[in-house]
Amino acid sequence: MSTHITVLPEDFQKAVKQSGSSLRPLQLPHPRTGLRALFVYHGSTLLELHSVTPDTPRSWFVGESVVSNGNLMLMTPIDPVFILIPFLQGLDPKAPFKPTDDFLEEALLSYSPPDINKQDVALFMTLGCARRALKQLCETKVIPPDISVHKPSPERITAFIKRRLERVISAQAVPEPSTSEPASDSTLQPSSGSTPGKVQSFPTIQRQHLRLGLSVEELGPLDCPKAQAIRAATRIKIAGEIVGNWVEESLMAEILATYDISAYTNHATARAEHGLNLRPQLPEQRRLKLVKGGNQKQETSEKLEPRLPVG
């Protein structure tokens, strides 16, 4: 059996150790692409597996041993609701209520991407986390004494994704500028009174803000109405990219179309045009080439055309 180096959440690791059980991998369709992806579950937690492959062959030193496989396995939590969404999208929202088992069986038949592992999907459908996820995506009724029935609800699916978008948008919120001190952009300098969930807690999002031009130096002070509109629209765009990692592309585009991000679009266009106009003209590049029919070298020159900056 091959050995892999894995990084997983500490609380999940403790729960597995305490239970003494092993992790059961599941091959499930990825909610965005439909392609096979690996997941593991324990209790009510579902983790997605990612393999980070180095550019060159590498090994790990673990104590006195050497692990020849230099890949790094990352296990990151994922909401089981995202896994269910593609299965429910193909169902008729006008269909009558059905008991849980019948409803999930119909959902499994309605969505069959290539190379689907139906056995693992069926096992996932029996998990408690999957059954609880149904209540967020479907209309659910309880028939006494203990029978739950469900019917598809596109509105609930949209509402769930929008809630996730709003959470990511709010996590990027910047503090209101103080009237006694100059406004500073938290995407550049974390404030001392910041709380977990602010953008400074997420370096990846912080870099996104800088890349898209949200700094005070480029965009202007926080209390400028135009700058506020651009920042708000850009946060929606970033949230769409993050949540869109687990949502089918056309569905994500449909939901994002309900938001107004025109301020970001105009800002991005202006930045691209401004960057092109400011790009210096490159001097003539001189090079030597062999003169045809001999070994003599002749100096020639050519002008390099300016190119639109990438990113």
pLDDT higher at 101 or 22: 101
**117 and 237 share one domain:** no
Chain CA centroid to CA 268, Å: 21
Q: What are the φ and ψ backbone dihedral angles of 118, each rounded to 5 degrees?
A: -65, -30
Is 197 within the bounds of a domain? no
Domain co-membership, 231 together with 102: no
Considering the domain architecture, whether residues 16 and 93 belong to the same structural domain is answered as yes
Q: What is the pLDDT of residues 10-41, one digit of tens each?
A: 887 787 777 777 778 899 999 999 999 999 98
Kindly state whether residue 80 falls inside one of the protein's structural domains: yes
pTM of the predicted model as reported, rounded to 2 decimal places: 0.74
Least trusted range by pLDDT, from 103-112, 177-186, 227-236:
177-186
**pLDDT at residue number 296:** 53
Report yes or no on 311 lying in a domain: no
> Looking at the chain, how many residues does it have?
311
pLDDT tens digits, 157-206:
999 999 999 999 998 876 444 433 433 343 333 333 333 444 445 777 87
Strand partners, 299: 288
* pLDDT value of residue 80: 94
Domain identity same for 145 and 23: yes
Residue 102 has a pLDDT of 93
119/80 same-domain check: yes
Whether residues 166 and 245 share a domain: the answer is: yes
Question: Which tokens is 160 given?
Answer: 């769930």
Q: Is 86 domain-assigned?
A: yes
Encoded tokens for 226 = 């135009």
Same domain, 34 and 70: yes
Q: What is the pLDDT of residue 295?
A: 53
Same domain, 129 and 209: no
Q: Is the dihedral of CA 107, 112, 118, 120 positive or negative?
A: negative
Instruction: Summarize the confidence of residues 103-114 as an average pLDDT.
Output: 89
DSSP at 90: T
- For the segment 34-51, the average pLDDT, to the nearest whole number, is 89
What is the C-alpha separation between 28 and 245, in angstroms, rounded? 15
Provide the residue range defining the domain that includes 215. Answer: 156-173+202-275
11 occurs within a structural domain: yes
Total domain count for the chain? 2
Considering the domain architecture, whether residues 218 and 148 belong to the same structural domain is answered as no
Residues 262 and 125 in one domain: no
Domain-located, residue 146: yes
Identify the CATH number of the domain in which residue 139 sits.
2.20.25.530
Q: Is residue 17 included in any domain, yes or no?
A: yes
Average pLDDT, the chain: 79
Structure-token match 């673990």, residue found: 62
User: Does 97 map to a domain?
Assistant: yes
70 and 169 fall within a common domain: no
Same domain, 107 and 131: yes
Q: E strands within the chain?
A: 5-7, 24-29, 36-42, 45-52, 60-62, 65-67, 72-77, 98-99, 138-143, 147-152, 285-290, 297-302
Distance CA 236, CA 240 (A): 6
CB 44 within 8 A of CB 133: no
